[in-house]
Amino acid sequence: DLNLTNIQGDILIGMKKNKEKFFFFSINDRKIFKQRLKSGAKFITTTTQLVDVNKQPAAMVNVAFSQTGLQAMGFYHFLNDFHFSGGQFREAAELGDPGTDQWVGTFRGKKVHGVFLLASDSTTVIDAEWAAVNQLFGSSITELYTLSAEARPGDQAGHEHFGFLDGISQPAINGFTANPAPGQSIVAPGRVLLGRDGDERMLGRPSWAKDGSFLVFRQLKQLVPEFNKFLRDNPLLLPGLTPEQGSELLGARMVGRWKSGAPVDLAPVFDDPTLAQDPMRNNNFDFSYPGEDLASNQTRCPFSAHIRKTAPRADFRSGNPEHHIVRAGIPYDPEVSTGEAAANATQQDRGLAFVAYQSDIDEGFHTLQQRWANTVEFVHNKTDPTPGFDPIVGANNGQSRFVSGLDPSDPDRDFNLVVDFVQSRGGEYFFSPSISAITDVLTA
Ligand code: N7H
C-alpha cells in the first residue's frame, strides 16, 4: 500500500485549484536553508490532505529540486535518471526547440535549484502563503523567476488556451485509484513513484528517493490567434458541414478531442457535449474497431492527433503499459485581447505551465515529446509510414512540420504547418521528494 502522507500532493491527485504560482529559486545558504526546510516541512501538502476534496487546505504547497539544487544541499547521489542529472537546458535541441533564444532567461543554464508550487482558489491566499514561505527562508534563498497561472474565466475553466478541455485522461495508479474509469490505463505505482513496484531503475537509486517523482516543467507558449486563423483558413469541407463546422472539425482532429472534451474516435464528425461530460464514456476508446483495419483507418482519428501521438492506446504494444505521465499543468495568462484576435497575431505571452510526473523521464516525457510527437514515422506499422508531427506539440527545431491524416476525405493529404502553435520557453527537470526524504535525509 502506498504511504499517502509521505507523498507530495501534486503527484497523484494534483493541487487542482484555480490559481497556481511557480516560484523558481536558488539556494544561497545551505545550512540555514536546510534548517528552515526541516522546520517548515509541515506546510508541505501531502496526498492524504487532498483525498477528500471537501477537506482540502485553502493553500497548498509543494517543493521540488533540480540536480544542482540537490547538490547545493550537499547531495551528490545519482538518482539514476540521466535527463534529470544533466538538466533540461542541454536538451533543448533534442526536444525540438528552435534554440534557447526564446527560453526564459532563468532556465538557461543550471541556475534553478528548486521550485515551490503554491495553489489556491485565491491569489490573496497564495501571496500570503508565499510571504510566509519567504519569511521562513529569508535570505537563504533567492527568488529567480515566478510564473503565475490560473484557470481560464467562466465556461472556459478547465480548458487550455486553444479552448480544449484538459485533464480528462490520466493513468490510473494500481492500488491507489479506487475506481478506474472505462478506458483508463492502469499503471504500476512505480511508473510514477520511485522505489515502488514497477520502477525498473529502483536498484540504482538511493533509498531516500522512494515515494518521490520526477517533475518535468515546461513553459509552453501558445499562439492562439495564429492557431485560430489556421483553422479558419483550412476548414474540412465534408458534405453537410458549414465552414465554421469544418474549422472546428480540423481543430478536433488535430487534438483528437473536441473542445468539449468528446473524443473524435467516438464522435467523429460532430461534437457530443453529453459524451464529453460522461466519465464512463469519454475515455472509453482505443482507436480500434472490430472489422476495421487499424493500420490504415483514420476516418475517426488521425494517427497524428495529439492524444494519439502521446497516448497511442491500441496502436502500441497492447495498450502501452510503460509510457505514461501524470499531467498537472495549468494555463498561464492573459486571455487573448480583441486587438490580438483582430490582427491574428500574438502580442502577449500566454500558454500552458506544463507539469508532468513520472519515475523515469526517458520513458515518460522524453519519449512522448521526442520519440513520438516530434518523430514523423511514429506511430509505426501504419500503411502510411509517415503520419507526421503532432500538430499541437510536435516540434522540428523551428522548421516547418508536415502532418497527414487530418483530412478524412483524403488522409494522404499533407498539411505543412509553418507556425509552431506551441513554442517552448524552456523549463527544468525537478525531483519532488517524499516528506520523509525532506525531513530525515535532505535536511539532516
Ligand atoms: Fe497534451 N491541447 O489543448 O491540445 N493535451 N497538450 N501534452 N496530452 C491533452 O485527455 C495540450 C503536452 C499529453 O491519455 C488534451 O486530458 C496543449 C505535452 C498526454 O488520451 C489536450 C499542450 C505532452 C495526454 C491537450 C499540451 C502532452 C494529453 C486532451 C501545450 C507530452 C493524454 C485532454 C501547450 C510531451 C492523452 C485530456 C490520453 C492530452 C493539449 C502539451 C501529453 C486538449 C495545448 C508537452 C499524454
Looking at residues 343-370, what average pLDDT do you find?
98
Q: Where are the alpha helices (DSSP H) in 55-96?
A: 67-72, 82-86
> Can you tell me whether residue 68 is helix, strand or coil?
helix
Does 332 sit in the ligand 1 pocket, CB within 6 Å? no
One domain, residues 280 and 387: yes
368, part of any domain: no
Residue 179 is assigned to a structural domain of this protein: yes
Q: For ligand 1, atom 12, name the residue with the nearest CA.
A: 393
Structural domain containing residue 92: 4-220+427-442
65 and 101 both lie in a single domain = yes
What does the CA dihedral 237, 241, 242, 244 come to, rounded to 10 degrees? -80
Query: What are 377-400's pLDDT values in tens digits?
Result: 999 999 999 999 999 999 999 999
CB 120 within 8 A of CB 302: no
pLDDT digits (tens, 9 = 90+) for 411-433: 999 999 999 999 999 999 999 99
Q: Give the span between the Cα atoms of 277 and 94, in whole angstroms.
A: 37
- List 401's β-bridge partners, or say none: 417
- Residues 193, 146 within the same domain: yes
pLDDT at 320: 77
CA distance 43 to 58: 12
State CA 378 to chain mean position distance.
Answer: 20
Distance from residue 401's CA to the centre of ligand 1 (Å): 18
- According to the model, what pLDDT value does residue 1 have? 85
Asked whether residue 247 falls in the same domain as residue 152, the answer is no
Could you tell me if 149 and 42 lie in one domain? Answer: yes
Same domain, residue pair 433 and 298: no
What spacing in Å lies between the alpha carbon of 256 and ligand 1's midpoint? Answer: 10
Alpha-helical (H) ranges within 3-155 are 9-12, 30-40, 48-51, 67-72, 82-86, 123-137
Neighbours of 357 (CB within 10 A): 27
Beta strands 114-120 and 141-150 are: unpaired
Same domain, 285 and 396: yes
Q: How is residue 138 written as a grid cell? A: 529569508
pLDDT digits (tens, 9 = 90+) for 215-245: 999 999 999 999 999 999 999 999 999 999 9
> 70 falls in which pLDDT band (50, 70, 90)?
very high
Substitution candidate for ligand 1 out of 223, 362, 392, 429 with most atoms within 8 A of CB = 392
Same domain, yes or no: 194 and 311 = no
Q: Does residue 321 surpass a pLDDT of 90?
A: no
Which pLDDT band, with edges at 50, 70 and 90, does 318 fall under?
Answer: confident
In the residue annotation, 166 being an active-site residue is answered as yes
Residue 433 included in any domain: yes
pLDDT reported for residue 129: 95
Are both 72 and 201 inside the same structural domain? yes
365 belongs to a structural domain: no
| Residue 273 sits in the same domain as residue 198 | no
331 belongs to a structural domain:
no
Residue 159 within any structural domain of the chain: yes
Confidence of residue 256 (pLDDT cuts 50, 70, 90): very high
Which atom of ligand 1 approaches the CA of 162 most closely?
3
Q: Is 398 in the pocket of ligand 1 (CB under 6 A)?
A: no
Q: Is residue 139 domain-resident?
A: yes
Atom of ligand 1 nearest to the CA of 392: 4
203 and 228 in a single domain? The answer is no
**First CA to last CA distance, the chain:** 27
pLDDT, the chain, mean? 97
Strand, coil or helix: what is 186? strand
DSSP string, 333-347: S-PPPHHHHHHT---
Decide whether any atom of ligand 1 lies within 6 Å of the 168 Cβ.
yes
Higher pLDDT pick, 143 / 318: 143
Q: Which atom of ligand 1 is nearest to the CA of 164?
A: 43
> What is the spatial distance between Cα 340 and Cα 227, in angstroms, rounded to a whole number?
12
| Residues 185-212 pLDDT 10s | 999 999 999 999 999 999 999 999 999 9
Domains held by the chain: number: 2
Q: Is the pLDDT of residue 298 over 90?
A: yes
Over residues 157-185, mean pLDDT: 96
Q: Whose CA is nearest to atom 18 of ligand 1?
A: 393
What per-residue confidence (pLDDT) applies to 284?
98
Same domain for 129 and 173, yes or no, is yes
ipTM of the predicted structure?
A: 0.99
